[in-house]
Chains A and B, each alone.
Chain A
Amino acid sequence: MRYLPHTDQDRADMLARIGVGSIDDLFADIPADKRLKAPLDLPPHCGEMEVARMMRGLAAKNLSAVETPFFAGAGAYRHHVPAMVDHIIQRSEFLTSYTPYQPEITQGTLQYLFEFQTQVANLTAMDVANASMYDGSTGTGEAVLMAHRVTRRNKAVISGGLHPQYRAVVENLSQMADDRLDILPPDPAGSEDIIARIDDETSCVVVQSPSFYGQLIDMKPIAEACHAKGALLVAVFTEVVSLGLIEPPGAQGADIVVGEGQSIGNGLNFGGPYVGLFATRQKYVRQMPGRLCGETVDAEGSRGFVLTLSTREQHIRRDKATSNICTNSGLCCLAFTVHMTLLGEAGITRLARINHAKACRLAERLDAITGVSVINESFFNEFTVRLSEDAAETVERLTERGIVAGVPVSRLEPHNPDLADMLLVAVTETTTDDEMDRLVTALQEVA
């Protein structure tokens, strides 16, 4: 077995040194009637070549997004990731290191976490960011719990523009914790009156912009209304590239900003691993969940970094902790921060502009097709079109022609007939003119 260094002779010598007769003597505490007598009913070990062949076989049964015109978004986006990013995250020193509990020999991890926190805080225009959450959806759940802690209330108001699966995560957590929720109905047009739902018991309002349907939301009046009632505004995004071009949530009065960072540095990976971004105001820092990296000095006065404010965390506070979260998405936030360092201000701004420009062009062309209409007043790189038939069927038919046309809203909102003809279409810098032509032609033929 190539991963196990011992020979049988080693094992025998080591057992002798330990002073036991057989390996099973070391398992003596397992009750005799509970010991496994037969081998596990699984195949025997395999060589590297055979495993590689099996993995290639499984991978070949999937249609990868680079092989085909591809317009699926809804919280996960196909972007170009610079080649350098994967090289860096595969370096042994980053890949095979643990959470930086021994800061003197993990300054590499700690410094990139500090840089990551600063990038996220600047991008969202907030004071502080943590060193990453699992993803945007679980981060949103954590944001609601944090708002409950800050306000000492337990009712969250959820916008109908929030990603339905993010909403489901929040619903599940709230239901299990006996917290209250006021969920607004799906809001494709971005026209809901969420301010009317805020009252003296509201802990927070959760609003996504760009919304699940692509609509950009003016959060300033919502923030003002929240603050007037002592509630917090939780601002959510699923496409972090949008922050290169649109007014950041921090500048609109958000108290907690949470979003999905996958688009920068991280591949689609069928939905995970991704990287949750989480930022807030300085005054709430001690109520934040998750790891935080802070600057300090060593015994000689040299600058260094450590995990800090750990008295918020489960390994110290146990049942009084701000969250049960233990690990973070270290390597995914490394991928994020390397890509963001390559982009910088000029790069992220231009990347966002390209995404938006291409989306504008495609929206215009789709809107011109009979039986297809773009419902958004505003959008960034994803918008909703209304078709003249069931959107899921359209997607299936276009898939047969080798085009992934987008995500039918009904896939995430299956019980709502009003949404059955809606299709989410995402465009990024990777979308070529040829891909757009093929989508337009195909929709003209089926619509």
Chain B
Amino acid sequence: MVNSQGRPTQPQAGSENSSGTDRPTFTGNRALQLEEPLIFETGRTDITGVDLAEPDEFASRLGGHGRTAPIDLPALSEPEAMRHYVRLSQKNYAIDMGLYPLGSCTMKHNPRLNEQSARLPGFSDIHPLQPQSTVQGALELIHELGRWLVTITGMQAVAMSPKAGAHGELCGMMAIKAALTARGKTPTKVLVPESAHGTNPATAALLRYSVVDVPARKDGTVGADEVKRLIAEHAGDIAAIMLTNPNTCGLFEPEIAEIAEAVHEAGGFFYCDGANLNAIMGKARPGDLGVDAMHINLHKTFSTPHGGGGPGAGPVVLSGALAPFAPLPFVEKDGNAYRLVETEHDDGGSHPFGRMTAFHGQMGMFVRAYAWMLSHGSDGMKQASEDAVLNANYVRAGLADLMSLPYPDHPSMHEVLFDDSFLKDTGVSTLDFAKAMIDEGYHPMTMYFPLVVHGALLIEPTESESRASLDLFIATMRDLVMAAKGGESERFTGAPHFAPRRRLDETRAARNPILKWAPPAPYEEAAE
């Protein structure tokens, strides 16, 4: 069974254990690979891993709101807890272990200087609402980071508070909606290319815009003619275009400036998804391309760690037209002092559209990103982008003869997109191919995205990879392609063979969702 993207929704049947030469162990462990139960199976509610002294008798002020039933939260002592989490950690792949070529995610090295900096008590142990006179260093850092972001992108202003990329998109689109409203306009549609991240149409929908799909051209880019045609078709009703550049096919949109101009002429704004900023630092500035708003994923380009899915940070840079509508709060420099503007005030110039979040944004991520920027500087950031693009094209050059490039006419930017036509008639799907990469010690690339090509494989090596690392990756990929073409389908359809788990049944998880641990059912019930 496959879903609409051609992706199998359940593991292939009959995946016999090809690692069966391995003798089963009594424990289920395999040397360093240790099975680990849930805390609910090993923990106890009558112990604790934290020593706290019972307070003296006191008159409670709970006013009758006290808890009446147990919580059911087991504890582990510190040594047990340490072992639990260390064992769990060893079931994870990570950038620090190897190449992590997830396209569109920019899995680059995470310098530990940044972690150390974020843990200075002067950053980690300050309260968002303590007097501003006691947090001048924090406000200065936010202000300076904002200045770097504005300079790198050639924009006019920045909203620092959004918590992640998708939250930044929401912020940018809100600024656009506020600016349109201020002009007395209420257009209802947003243009979104088919190749866009799913967050783009989801964001537009949150603001009650309807989405008009922009088809990609045969070469993987968006054509200005098509955009103009759609603007004419929906005359007067286009609020914005949401365009990713470089786009999710890994290509720089060559007609981007013309597209921006057409949207502006129609009274709309240009939202740029900045997920792929890592390709163009020091090479081109979104502000020069006509962009009005763009979020920046600090966890991608500026290497605050991904942390298993977050936290991220998504500051939004804004054009002059949108700057007055930036949300609260923002930092202003006043002589040598920094001031945090948290509530609306009458200065005539600014009309903040509202507030995205409590407090002031992801300070912990700001510190890390700023340390990264200071470390790289103007020259290092440009070099990082050049190396990221060099590495993607090097991988492409090493694989283009064996894998299928849907868009051979343009150089790739920082990521290279293949489709699955090289797997035709092999019985191996993109998913199978990805799972076989796991057995070879690699995290797979992004699969089945973007949706504009069949069985997409999107590879982003980042600037962190050495030439030797890329050579080994290319050689491994070539071996795998040859094996697939050579009929070794079991190597793929049964993969992964050597990971902590064999292929997991996602259909079963969705059909009968178990989202919380529950004690095992009594015997009679379980035996029905």
Question: Are A and B part of the same complex?
Answer: yes
Q: Taking the complex as formed, is B55 at the interface, i.e. its CB lies under 8 A from any CB of chain A? A: yes
A residues less than 8 Å from B524 (CB atoms): none
Within 8 A of A (CB), among B466-508: 466-467, 469, 494, 496, 499-506, 508
| Chain B neighbourhood of A132, CB < 8 A | 310
Whole-angstrom distance between the alpha carbons of A415 and B17 in the complex? 69
* Contact yes or no, B285 A90, CB < 8 A: no
B348 to chain A, nearest CB (A): 18
Pairwise interchain contact B129-A72, C-beta atoms closer than 8 A: yes
* Contact in complex: A172, B174 (CB < 8 Å): yes
> Which of B60, B130, B133, B398 counts the most chain A CB atoms within 10 A?
B130
> CA of A192 to CA of B501 in the docked complex: distance in angstroms?
54
Does A95 contact B110, Cβ atoms closer than 8 Å?
A: yes
Query: Is A196 in contact with chain B by the CB < 8 A criterion?
Result: no
Complex alpha-carbon distance, A429 and B52, angstroms: 9
Q: Which applies to chain B's interface (DSSP): helix, strand, loop or mixed?
A: loop
Please tell me if the beta carbons of A329 and B310 are within 8 angstroms of each other in the complex.
yes
A93 near B97 (CB under 8 angstroms)? yes
Is B410 an interface residue when CB atoms closer than 8 A count as contact?
A: yes
Residue-wise interface mask of A (18-45) relative to B, using a CB-CB cutoff of 8 A (1 in contact, 0 not): 1110010111111100111001111111
Given contacts A58-B140, A324-B199, A347-B48, contact A218 B463 (CB under 8 A): no
Q: Is the CB of B307 within 8 A of A271?
A: no
Pick the contact of A59: B122, B130, B177, B310 (CB < 8 A): B122
Which residues of A have CB within 8 Å of B91? Answer: 93, 105-108, 111
With contacts A102-B434, A109-B92 taken as known, whether A55 is within 8 angstroms of B377 at the C-beta atoms is: no
Chain B residues lying within 8 Å of A378, measured Cβ to Cβ, are 61-65
Contacts A59-B137, A98-B308 known; 6 new A-B pairs at CB < 8 A? A42-B148, A45-B379, A61-B122, A302-B502, A314-B201, A315-B198
* B184 sits at the interface (CB 8 A): no
State which of A138, A354, A395 has its C-beta within 8 Å of the C-beta of B357.
Answer: A138
A404 at the interface (CB under 8 A from B): yes
| Interchain CB contact under 8 A, A6 and B387 | yes
What is the CA–CA distance of A218 and B177 in the complex, to the nearest angstrom? 39
Interface residues of A in 318-356 (CB under 8 A from B): 318-321, 323-332, 334, 338, 340-351, 353-354, 356
- Residues 344 to 377 of chain A near chain B (Cβ within 8 Å): 344-351, 353-354, 356-361, 363, 376-377
Contact indicator per residue, chain B 396-408, by CB within 8 Å of chain A (1) or not (0): 1110000000000
Interface: B218 (CB within 8 A)? no
Number of chain B interface residues as a range:
35 or more
A-facing mask of B295-318, CB < 8 A → 1, else 0? 000010000011111111100000
Interface size on A, residues (CB 8 A): 212
Is the Cβ of B355 less than 8 Å from the Cβ of A165? yes
Within 48-69 of A, Cβ neighbours of B (below 8 Å) are at: 48, 50-52, 54-67
19 residue pairs from A and B, CB less than 8 Å apart? A6-B387, A40-B382, A55-B123, A93-B90, A107-B500, A122-B71, A127-B516, A137-B357, A165-B359, A175-B354, A247-B67, A271-B128, A292-B515, A315-B197, A327-B312, A331-B308, A343-B75, A344-B45, A361-B58
**B313 partner residues in chain A, CB cutoff 8 A:** 272-273
